[in-house]
């Protein structure tokens, strides 16, 4: 028998899920999620996880609550670890309670993991505190969309001195505002509407109760009414947001450097490496040539799978740059040759100079750069892996970073880049691919993640070339 975890995903931003919630999403067998859960969070699920969307599709019928309950029970009965992921907190207008009652009825083990509710966090991140000493002593979270028609006590709400927070009210707010004024609340009471809070598309409208109109508001929105709605407790210096594209190893290394400096990071184009079935005899070659870190990792995995003792590696080794050198060094292997400029063309040129007649085995990606072959002689190539798209979404960030030409082509085949977004290319080949596709980008001095971070830090000084 499996177990169901009812997990709150937070208000949107993928950094605002709990540590435990994130860990459960990463490790579950089945992920059942709603419309308000961001793609960046569902993308955390493992490769083999079954993802089931149960939210409302525009115009189409949504899956009924009864259907959702049945899916939860059925998946758990088949022995799965199930994560039922909900926007915000599962118990704040999230129907988490109903699902749990169905689980209890069917004797299914469950646990609830709280989330950061949009009712408090969305106003907060827009600079609005829901309570403020001496100004607002209480807060009421209200739905504008109830199951049994109008059951909300508007008379009591109209008489509160505290803060009113309305969820699910984008289509009913004018009516609500009317009822509140009927019961004596001043139409001049400050009001704020925050649409798509915590996301790159966030929109904040500051107004007063009497001016709240349905047609001005697009869901999902949180509407705050009360004195604190006119607060604007936001730092004038915003965080710079960075969108990253590339394979997992690249994204992880860049992400951890950017997080240390507190940038806002989002992975907009995630590529994954898939090892290919290859056979080669390393003893026949003087040189082994690595054109990237992924190649090193996949090569080492293959040695391990084939039970090859690392002491059999008697060859000389060439690498494209510092990242690849360091990746090999982690296995205790120090490359014999690395060009001064980290491009495959330079690697080919350098090898031609120092070892023209020696035999070389080149490890590369099936869809990788071919520049290395411009100069190199006396070689054989092995396609160690191929690259596939795992997840892609549109960049709305201040900066977008490309870690490979493959990333550029994959991203641009699907989306354009907004003209306000600065573009950074890891190296010359990637820079050239961007240029060929009509985009001006900054090219890093050294093709290394550290160099990308330097370029971002000098953001204001970036000269597009
Ligand atoms: N359980 C959720 C609320 C579910 S009801 C929570 O605790 O946040 C859905 C409503 O939440 C939406 O209609 C909207 O009012 C609000 N909401 C959720 N995410 C939001 C966001 N990112 N921006 C604005 N409103 C949001």
CATH number at residue 147: 3.30.950.10
Q: State the pLDDT at residue 131.
A: 98
Do both 449 and 383 map to the same domain? yes
The closest of 10, 16, 94, 21 to 54, measured between CA atoms, is 94
Do both 22 and 84 map to the same domain? yes
- pLDDT tens digits, one per residue of 7-35: 999 999 999 999 999 999 999 999 999 99
Do both 315 and 396 map to the same domain? yes
The closest of 259, 192, 196 to 228, measured between CA atoms, is 192
Quote the domain boundaries for residue 317. 236-465
Do both 34 and 83 map to the same domain? yes
- pLDDT tens digits, one per residue of 34-86: 999 998 899 999 989 999 999 876 556 678 999 999 999 999 999 999 999 99
CATH number at residue 306: 3.40.50.10090
Do both 99 and 209 map to the same domain? no
Instruction: Name the residue with the closest Cα to ligand 1, atom 2.
Output: 88
Do both 63 and 49 map to the same domain? yes
Do both 138 and 163 map to the same domain? yes
d(CA 120, CA 228): 12
Ligand 1 centroid – CA 270 distance (Å): 27
User: Last residue of some domain: 204, 230, 256?
Assistant: 230
- pLDDT tens digits, one per residue of 135-194: 999 999 999 887 656 678 999 999 999 999 999 999 999 999 999 999 999 999 999 999
Number of independent structural domains in the chain: 3
- pLDDT tens digits, one per residue of 257-288: 999 999 999 999 999 999 999 989 999 999 99
CATH number at residue 87: 3.40.1010.10
Do both 291 and 397 map to the same domain? yes
Burial of 49-82, coded b for 16+ CB within 10 Å and e otherwise, reads beebebeeeeeeeebeeeebbebbbebbeeebbb
The model carries a pTM of 0.83
The tokens describing 100, both together, are 């749990």
User: Last residue of some domain: 213, 230, 247?
Assistant: 230
Do both 72 and 186 map to the same domain? no
Do both 255 and 392 map to the same domain? yes
d(CA 165, CA 146): 15
Q: Which residues line ligand 1 (CB under 6 A)?
A: 11-12, 36, 86-89, 92-94, 117-119, 122, 167-168, 194, 196-198, 219-222
CB 368 within 8 A of CB 291: yes
Atom index in ligand 1 nearest the CA of residue 91 equals 1
Do both 411 and 272 map to the same domain? yes
Taken in order 217, 220, 223, 229, is the CA torsion positive or negative? negative
User: Last residue of some domain: 115, 144, 170?
Assistant: 115
Atom index in ligand 1 nearest the CA of residue 36 equals 19
- In the block, tokens 């915000």 appear at 88
Q: State the pLDDT at residue 401.
A: 97
Ligand 1 centroid – CA 162 distance (Å): 20
Q: State the pLDDT at residue 465.
A: 47
- pLDDT tens digits, one per residue of 189-236: 999 999 999 988 899 999 999 999 999 999 999 999 999 999 999 988
Average pLDDT (82-99) is 96
Ligand 1 centroid – CA 48 distance (Å): 29
Do both 100 and 141 map to the same domain? no
- pLDDT tens digits, one per residue of 398-427: 999 999 999 999 999 999 999 999 999 998
* pLDDT top residue among 172 and 459: 172
Q: State the pLDDT at residue 461.
A: 53
């Amino acid at each position: 028998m499996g177990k169901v975890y009812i997990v709150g995903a937070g208000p949107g931003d993928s950094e605002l899920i709990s540590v435990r919630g994130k860990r459960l999403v990463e490790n579950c067998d089945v992920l059942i999620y709603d419309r308000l859960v961001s793609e960046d969070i569902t993308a955390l699920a493992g490769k083999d996880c079954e993802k089931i969307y149960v939210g409302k599709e525009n115009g189409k019928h949504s899956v009924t609550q009864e259907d959702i309950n049945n899916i939860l029970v059925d998946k758990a009965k088949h022995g799965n670890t199930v994560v039922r992921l909900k926007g915000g907190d599962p118990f704040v207008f999230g129907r988490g309670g109903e699902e749990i009652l169905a689980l209890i009825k069917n004797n299914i083990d469950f646990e609830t993991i709280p989330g950061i509710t949009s009712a408090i966090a969305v106003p907060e991140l827009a600079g609005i505190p829901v309570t403020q000493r001496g100004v607002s002593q209480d807060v009421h979270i209200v739905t504008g969309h109830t199951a049994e028609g109008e059951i909300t006590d508007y008379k009591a709400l109209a008489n509160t001195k505290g803060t009113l927070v309305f969820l699910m009210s984008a289509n009913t707010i004018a009516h609500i505002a009317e009822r509140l004024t009927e019961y004596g609340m001043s139409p001049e009471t400050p009001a704020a509407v925050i649409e798509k809070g915590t996301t790159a598309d966030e929109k904040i409208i500051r107004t007063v109760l009497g001016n709240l109109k349905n047609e001005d508001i697009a869901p999902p929105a949180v509407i705050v009414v009360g004195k604190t709605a006119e607060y604007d407790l936001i730092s004038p210096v915003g965080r710079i947001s960075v969108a990253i594209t590339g394979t997992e190893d690249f994204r992880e290394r860049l992400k951890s450097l950017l997080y240390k400096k507190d940038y806002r990071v989002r992975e907009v184009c995630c590529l994954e490496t898939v090892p290919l079935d290859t056979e080669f005899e390393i003893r026949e070659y003087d040189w082994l040539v690595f054109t990237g870190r992924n190649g090193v990792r996949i090569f080492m995995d293959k040695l391990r799978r084939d039970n090859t003792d690392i002491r059999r590696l008697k060859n000389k080794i060439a690498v494209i740059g510092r990242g690849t050198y360091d990746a090999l060094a982690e296995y205790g292997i120090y490359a014999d040759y690395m060009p001064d400029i980290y491009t495959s063309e330079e690697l080919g040129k350098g090898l031609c100079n120092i070892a023209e007649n020696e035999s070389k085995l080149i490890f590369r990606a099936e869809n990788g750069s071919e520049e290395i072959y411009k100069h190199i002689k006396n070689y054989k190539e092995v396609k160690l892996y191929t690259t596939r798209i795992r997840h892609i979404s549109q960049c709305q960030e201040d900066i977008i970073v490309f870690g490979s030409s493959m990333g550029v082509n994959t991203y641009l085949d699907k989306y354009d880049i907004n003209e306000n977004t600065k573009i950074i290319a890891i190296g010359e080949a990637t820079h050239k691919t961007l240029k060929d596709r009509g985009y001006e980008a900054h090219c890093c001095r050294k093709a290394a993640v550290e160099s990308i971070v330097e370029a971002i830090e000098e953001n204001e000084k970036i000269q597009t070339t």
